[in-house]
Amino acid sequence: MSSLQEFIDYLRSRGYKVTPQRLEIFKTVKSMRNHPNVYMIYQEVKKKNPTISPATVYKTLEVLERVGEIQAVCQIDGKTVYDTKLSPHINIHCLKCHKIKDVESDLVERLVKEVQIKSGARIVSQSINFFGYCSKCADEK
Amino acid sequence: MSSLQEFIDYLRSRGYKVTPQRLEIFKTVKSMRNHPNVYMIYQEVKKKNPTISPATVYKTLEVLERVGEIQAVCQIDGKTVYDTKLSPHINIHCLKCHKIKDVESDLVERLVKEVQIKSGARIVSQSINFFGYCSKCADEK
DNA sequence: ATGCTTGCAAACCGTTTGCAGATCT
DNA sequence: AGATCTGCAAACGGTTTGCAAGCAT
């Protein structure tokens, strides 16, 4: 799933209701980059729907996470932001500028396979977080 | 670092004070397995030092994290637990029994190297989290 | 008509902070 | 002696909950 129509179909198929709020939040999240937090999403959605409440945003984000449209990422300070990336990747958390950068690697898929074989577990998703200094901040040091 | 003596030396070398509370928390954390949360650590430390406060536990865990003795791990429900493992590994979060299991893999080191080359970032630590069903829960399904 | 959803406000809960007294160096 | 640390209690901030009114089916 990734398009608005697919989201609508998903909601209907599960007995969830299709509301303007949910569609607006879906569109907003999809248009945002750079790992927004709930407050940033709330502020952005409010531009289109000034009366929306944070509670509605929280509840819809929970639905979007269940669908697999977004993924919560825990920052080193414990705060939660969201990732709208779908493919397996690594989050690089910069300890200086605090930005998060995504990097892809074929090794992720291999790592998942190896871990499944080694542990006997069945893996359905992953969150890989590296901490250090992004290329820009590493250069400045 | 890993022994009590090394921890003491570290504290002194940084101008931190060596207090009974800090030593007790260090020993307690080192004796606990299975990813305890702050409350569990606090309860355990209280057995030896009944008047200790949660604030002291929080502050000492922060020191231990800075030293690299422990690492905060964010669970899928957003709650934080601690990992006392030092070597690079993967945390498998079971979506059914909610336990966290550690698995090691040589691929982690390779992944770190590849990401550093690809991104230009300098990586100093990592937290790799896989979500799914542990071997026990996968079998029961 | 039914029942899920919204928006509001209050509650919640893990964590942090301010501060006076105690402890370490 | 001087600075840091402890323990307490209050504050904080992000998130969840309860509920009455609204809306989708």
**Model confidence pLDDT, tens digit, residues B103-120:** 999 999 999 999 999 999
* Domain A4-83 in this protein, CATH class: mainly alpha
**Strand C: which residues 3-22 of B lie within 7 A (CB)?**
11-12, 17-20
A50 within 8 A of A85, measured Cβ to Cβ: no
Task: Report the C-alpha gap between A66 and B87 in whole angstroms.
Answer: 32
pLDDT cut 70: percent of chain B above it = 99
Helix (H, G, I), strand (E, B) or coil at A79: coil
Give kind and range of the element (H or E) at residue A124: strand A122-133
Let me know if the fold of B4-83 is the same as that of B90-140: no
Q: Which 3-state string (H, E, C) describes B68-107?
A: CCCEEEECCCCCEEEECCCCCCEEEEECCCCCEEEECCCH
Q: Is the CB of A55 under 7 A from strand C?
A: yes
Residue type, A77: D
B101 within 8 A of A121, measured Cβ to Cβ: yes
- Global confidence as pTM: 0.92
Domain ranges, ordered by start, for chain A: 4-83, 90-140
Q: Which residue is nearest to nucleotide D7 (CA to C1')?
A: B53
Provide the β-strand partners of residue B122. Answer: A133
Contact B115 A103 (CB under 8 A): yes
For residue B132, the chain A residues in CB contact (below 8 A) are 121-125
Task: Give per-residue pLDDT as tens, B52-79.
Answer: 999 999 999 999 999 889 999 999 999 9
CATH of domain A90-140: 3.30.1490.190
Task: Give per-residue pLDDT as tens, A31-73.
Answer: 998 899 999 999 999 999 999 999 999 999 999 999 889 999 9
